[in-house]
Amino acid sequence: MRIALFNDTSPTLHHGCNLVMTNLTNLLAKHASEPCLFWPVASDWSPFEARLRSMSLDAIVVNGEGSIHTVDSRPRARQLLGLSRFAKELGVPSFLVNSSLFNLDDQAFEALNSFSKILVRESRSKEYLEKNGINCEIAPDLSMVDLSFRPEACGERTTKLATDSVFPSYSREIKAFADKHSFVFESMQRKPTWLEKRRKKIKKSLGVFPATRLYKPTSDFHSFLKRIGEAQLVVTGRFHTVTLCLLTSTPFIAVESNTPKISALVGDCLGDDERVVSLERLKNLSAGDLERLSRFSEAEHASINEFLYAGTNSANSFFSRMFGF
């Protein structure tokens, strides 16, 4: 089966996105076929439509992640939604998976209705789609659905870690918090090498076909998972830092991202979003607050374990039935 996977987020050099792409590729290989084409994030497919038509594709899979929201101001979201129409023209099924969806319009809902199946990653998106007459299934973000990546024993937690946000201004505030409270601060994205920058610039200037035939991780997410698992507490503005904290049972405090996806995820897993705070609240947390939030309760530990195991089953169930219609 010739599957084209669009919105490959690994070129961002982001640890969480690389774990998502690793798990997504493995799920497709396990239940259908490993993709024959990986289309990179933020690259418009429409200029290459003729070449894509010539490739005898059997299915199109779109890795939604947090890419589809606020469609009036985000051409990239429209481009991804347009793949459902393209798949229909090809006469092949299309699947939107691992997606959070917010702030859409009628045109976007019409495009969503053309996908063969949709898998969202938190209940707020599911409720939003169903309210607008669109059927979907739910499983947690795919960074959390292979428990073999869960460290067997994190050992003694000796560090405090902070990561950045999609918003540069938030990143600066989190960095200031980290400096004040002796947290180690690092970005969720590694810096590109000179060669990577040069290669990307040349490819863009030449207008070459941007897709690759093979998936290869671009970050050492294993080491990052280890650092998360060694932390007493993590402070972050990144959705995928929160998913990796849940995967490693690491206590966290999160500042909301560019959509309500973090609070939606935390609510699904823990039942409330107490650990999701505003920047102002973060600045005013007391030593007692930090001490309290540095531990998960027994109920929280139980909720996390149940969430991860149920989520793994839900993801595998969806992908095993993906082409069964």
Residues paired with 97 in a beta bridge? 63
Q: pLDDT tens digits, residue range 104-159?
A: 999 999 999 999 999 999 999 999 999 999 999 999 999 999 998 887 655 679 89
Q: Which one-letter amino acid corresponds to residue 232?
A: Q
The residue whose two tokens read 């589809």 is 68
Q: pLDDT tens digits, residue range 224-276?
A: 999 999 999 999 999 999 999 999 999 999 999 989 999 999 999 999 989 99
Q: What is the secondary structure of 178-246 as a DSSP string?
A: HHHHT-EEE-SBPPPPHHHHHHHHHHHHHT----BSS----S-HHHHHHHHHTEEEEEEE-HHHHHHHH
What is d(CA 286, CA 100) in angstroms, rounded to the nearest whole number? 33
Q: What are residue 183's phi and psi, to 5 degrees?
A: -95, 150
The pLDDT of residue 156:
78
pTM of the complete model beyond 0.85:
yes
- From the list 18, 302, 323, the residue with the least C-alpha distance to 142 is 18
The pLDDT of residue 251:
97
The answer to whether residue 282 scores a pLDDT higher than 80 is yes
Q: What are residue 21's phi and psi, to 5 degrees?
A: -65, -35
